[in-house]
Amino acid sequence: MTTAPHKIIISDPSLRDGNHSVKHKITLDSIQKYCRFADKAGIPIVEVGHGNGLGAASILIGESDVDDESILLTARENLQNSKLGVHIIPGLATISRDIDRAMDLGVDVFRVATHCTEATLSKSHINYLCNHDKVVHGTLMMTAMIDVKELVLHAKTMEDYGANAIIIMDSTGSYLPRDVKQRIGALVENLSIPVGFHGHNNLGCAVANSLVAAECGATIIDACIRGFGAGAGNAQLEAVVAVLEKSGFETGINFADLISEADNVVEYLVPKLPVSAPINILTGLTKLFSGFEKPILKASRLYDVEYSSLIFELGNRKLVAGQEDLIIEVAKNLQNKS
């Protein structure tokens, strides 16, 4: 299934997904600088916050140097044209504490995200936001863990709740282009709302996967500057825009400004450029959350076990984001066995 070139809305989570790679320590100064660039360059949506979204800062998942409200205030003050987006995981973000305050602070796009098999958990959050006339993207994470039929079922559940669009995340960086073609094609065929794709680069396919998603009818594509993101990083924004425009799609982003800032961000936002290291390839193959890289390496050193052995055991257990404590448990068990 290939569609004619069309307008693509780029949603840029550099200031949210990128936070994973720096242990949720992005500064307000960096947020201010990047938002000013994004607004000038015409990036449609800028997503900000803790790596796991509103209300996620904790000892288990990772504490943040900056609270949610300060992040949102800073971003809102520096985005005049670009829309301000946030990531929300029910169970971490609450309606009364987090969503109400985010609405007060002027958030434009709310992404309500659940594990790919738990779309029903999004009902109260999506319903509440729809009742307040907010733009809601139903977002399914870790989608490589289920087949196409089940993915469509959970996407339609979010659509029924009132979501304005459905985004599927390749949170593990496991997709090959053929996987994207099957999934995006099925979603476009079975849903009546826009479909989007969020790719990680564990197997080196994030940019190619993003192009295939667009060719199969996706109208929303996520990408981060210099690929800034968890593990091996996300689809690289400047490469995605170049490939999409070369293929006839329209993004509306000033490419000259984007390329210039891609050089600048290494000075204030991206301290280490993401690469697809052996550990990232292994987590991609075993369908583990890209953000597990640092906890896995830490547990490997602490308990003197090979990280490859730890990864394969975690993959067998099908761990998902939020189960970081089990990485320690599994590493202990492997140490005892050895």
How far is it, in rounded angstroms, from Cα 294 to Cα 285? 17
Catalytic hit among 20, 50, 87, 154: 20
Q: What is the 3-state secondary structure (H, E, C) of the chain?
A: CCCCCCECEEEEEEECCHHHHCCCCCCHHHHHHHHHHHHHHCCCEEEECCCCCCCCCECCCECCCCCHHHHHHHHHHHCCCCEEEEEECECCECHHHHHHHHHHCCCCEEEEEEECCCHHHHHHHHHHHHHCCCEEEEEEECHHHCCHHHHHHHHHHHHHHCCCEEEEEECCCCCCHHHHHHHHHHHHHHCCCCEEEEEECCCCCHHHHHHHHHHCCCCEEECEHHHCCCCCCECEHHHHHHHHHHCCCECCCCHHHHHHHHHHHHHHCCCCCCCCCHHHHHHHHCCCCHHHHHHHHHHHHHHCCCHHHHHHHHHHHCCCCCCHHHHHHHHHHHHHHC
Calpha distance 300→306 (Å, rounded): 6
The answer to whether residue 6 is catalytic is: no
Short-list 5, 9, 17, CA closest to 201: 17
How many CB atoms lie under 10 A from the CB of residue 50?
27
Residues classed as catalytic: 20
